[in-house]
Amino acid sequence: MKSVLRKYPLSIVILLVICYLSFFKPPKTDLDEIQYIDKVAHICMYGGLGLIIWLEYLRSHISINKERLFTGAILLPILFSGGIELIQEYGTTHRGGDWSDLMANSIGILIAAAFGNYILRPYLEKHPQYKKKSE
């Protein structure tokens, strides 16, 4: 557990922020009038989470374990998102679970995975000074 806290501190902070944002009662604003603004927010939240997970993984591992990366950077965040939606639906009175929110969250994670694999990983491989040698 201590290793996870040391290798993924920003990811954990973002997970906590997402939990807070998922369960507090948001105020009404003029932004509510913009169609699909909620879905854009979901894509951004989970896309940001995914990017930070990728960055922290790539910086703290010398070699890439594709199975572990798939599990930790794609599968677990999507399952986490689904759990949040279920808790919103069945565990709160002021929030509701939504399949389209889960889809937007998944899209954000998949966009982050594509960015992490095809842009971030090659960049860090070309610039090894940014990679922490601590596996």
Q: Where does the pLDDT of residue 25 fall: very low under 50, low under 70, confident under 90, or very high at 90 and above?
A: confident
Q: Where does the pLDDT of residue 135 fall: very low under 50, low under 70, confident under 90, or very high at 90 and above?
A: very low
Is the overall model pTM greater than 0.75, yes or no?
yes
User: For 94, phi and psi rounded to 5 degrees?
Assistant: -110, 0
Q: Which residues of 14-42 are buried (b: 16+ CB within 10 A; e: fewer)?
A: bbeebeeebeeeeeeeeeeeeeeebbebb
Per-residue pLDDT of 60-108, as tens digits, reads 888 889 999 999 999 999 999 999 999 999 999 888 889 999 999 999 9
Per-residue pLDDT of 1-12, as tens digits, reads 678 888 999 999
